[in-house]
Each structure stands twice: as structure tokens, then as C-alpha cells.
Amino acid sequence: MRTLTGLQPSGKLHIGNYFASIKQMLQAQNRGEELFIFIANYHALTSVNDGNKLKNATYEAAAAFLALGIDPDKSTFWVQSDVKEVLELYWILSGYTPMGLLERSHAYKDKVAKGFETKHDLFSYPVLMAADILLYSANFVPVGKDQIQHVEIARDIALKFNNAYGEILTMPETRIDENVATISGTDGAKMSKSYSNTIDIFSDAKTLKKQISSIKTSSEPLEAPKEWKDCNVYNIAKLFLNEEKQKNLQLRYEKGGEGHGHFKAYLNELIWDYFKEARDKFEYYINNKNKLDEILDIGAKKARKEALNLIEKIRKATGIYR
């Protein structure tokens, strides 16, 4: 069974990316599943209009994936734009995508509501995402709850295409960890680069402390018991803790005598220690871009071979013969 996922290089990876998506990738890889992972630089163009920034961010994303445990010998790992067939499929699938389907996109409506410019690339984003999924015949796509609709759109488009040409496209399914499907950011909303509420994985100590200090909390006297269930510091900290340590942290909240500053300091320590080994590996890769290029080139060849297997069938079915 084939699992596929991708992340945009439009900013630094944050713990929301890790727990909602990357951790699932690593689990799938360790189970011996066929794992396809790409850096979605075409998608990033919806929000990044600085060429040097996007190039550097793509290298950073590649280094981060590898540092966090993606093994290019076990998984297929590449940059989206290295397989141009995804754009060809994007255009073909556009002919099987009703406007109403895109108009109902939660992600599009949410970004417009937050002041994003209404552009075609943002509007047709789900079609390119469908092409990403369908081009590699993915069986499963790990997503957060807010991304389920994108896979549903891919299924709808695939069904329309298959109704026209036969069973060519694989119908993908979502894979969700219900416990961590949506990770809260520092303001309590979904953690997202778009909302500037992230806690970054590979930041320096000063930046990490600043981000954690910005987490919104309630105001109670130091000696008073604290509510942990709705505390954003606790909800982030529990991602790093087993059941016993979660219970111990709950007792600290209920006992009183500590302020939210103490719990933020504890969270800072948790995150810093958890990603220590990954930070060291990240520094190695980011300072050896030739090694990154070598790994990505190999991954792109593997991905394109798979893409061509399907695109040739699609070209034949649709009459694109040259």
C-alpha cells in the first residue's frame, strides 16, 4: 500500500507539521510501507513571491525532512517541481472539476476571510493537490482534520475522470491520528505559518523561548490551582509526554503554586530536548547542499518513473498522443 504526503517549503517546519503529518510518515516508513514524500514548492507559490526565499526554503525543508528521520533509501523523497507531469495532470483534471466543488473549499474560504488576495492559484489549489495524490496512485494520504476535504475533492475528481475513461486513477483514502489531527498554535487557533502562530522545530534557543512565551494563557494568582484541560501550554506539552507524565503535569496544574510561566519553561525544555538530535542533523545537511541535491535527484528519478507509468495511460485515454 502506498502512502503519500507533501509539505510546503513556505516557512520553517513547526511542531504542528511534525505531529499532524511527519510523525505519521515516520511510522509508515518504519512499518515498511511504500512512502512517497515531496516538497510542495509549486503550492508554495500561492504565498511566496521571492525566488531566493523559496529556493532557500526548499533546501531547508529537504534538510528538515531528512533530519527528522525520512530515509531516502526506504522512501521516495523529491521536490514537486522536479516531476513536471504533475502540471500536465493538473490541467487535465481541471476539465473534470466543477466550479462548485472548488467554491466549497474550506481552505480557500478561510484564507479569503483572513484577507488573502483572491487569486486563481489559491482557488485551484485543490486541483493541483489532487494531481499530486493521483499521479502517484496513492492509497493513503495522512492529513489533519482540516485537510480531509482536499482528499475528498481528489476522490470526486478521480471518480469523474474514471467515469469518462475507465478505472485509471486510484481512489485515495485519508489517514488521520484522531489524537493529534489538529495542533493548536500559540494563539489557540490551528498552528499554521499563514497565521504566524507556530513553534518552529529548528529555531535557535532564543527564538524558541520567544515563541513559547507568546502562547496565550489565562490570568490567575500564582498560588491558585490552574485549569489544564483548556490550557494551550498543556495541550502542546502533552504531545511530547506519555500518559504517566501527562498525569504528573496535570497534578502540577491542580496543586497550584506555579504560574503559567513555569509551565512555559517546562514546555521549552521538552521541545528543545526532543529535537536535539534532529537539530544537529539539520545543521549538517544545510551546510552540505551538494549532498541534498544528490539525494533529491535520486528521489526525483524514482518519482518520475512512477508518474510516467500513469501519465502515459492518461495521455492515451484522453488523446494527448504527442
Which residues on neighbouring strands pair with residue 140, listed in sequence order? 3, 173
Q: Identify the active-site residue in 12, 53, 114, 193.
A: 193
What string of H, E and C letters represents the secondary structure of 135-183? HCCCCEEECCHHHHHHHHHHHHHHHHHHHHHCCCCCCCEEECCCCCCCC
Q: How far apart are CA 111 and CA 102, in angstroms?
A: 13
User: 190 an active-site residue?
Assistant: yes
Q: How far apart are CA 229 and CA 219, in angstroms?
A: 15
Question: What H or E segment, with its residue span, contains residue 101?
Answer: helix 99-103
Phi-psi map region of 258: left, alpha, beta (phi>0 left; psi -120 to 50 alpha): beta
Q: What type of residue sits at position 86?
A: V
Q: Identify the active-site residue in 53, 74, 84, 111.
A: 111
User: 193 an active-site residue?
Assistant: yes
Cell triple for 167: 478505472
User: 111 an active-site residue?
Assistant: yes
Cell triple for 155: 476522490
Q: How far is CA 271 from the centre of its chain?
A: 19
Q: Identify the active-site residue in 23, 114, 145, 190.
A: 190
Q: How far apart are CA 132 and CA 5, in angstroms?
A: 9
Q: How far apart are CA 148 and CA 133, in angstroms?
A: 13
Sheet holding 76-79, edge to edge: 76-79, 34-39, 2-7, 140-142, 173-175
Q: How far apart are CA 191 and CA 196, in angstroms?
A: 8
Of 266, 278, 144, the residue nearest 200 (C-alpha)? 278
Of 28, 279, 261, the residue nearest 142 (C-alpha)? 28
Sign of torsion over alpha carbons 290, 295, 301, 303: negative
Place of cell 502517484: 136
Catalytic residues: 111, 190, 193
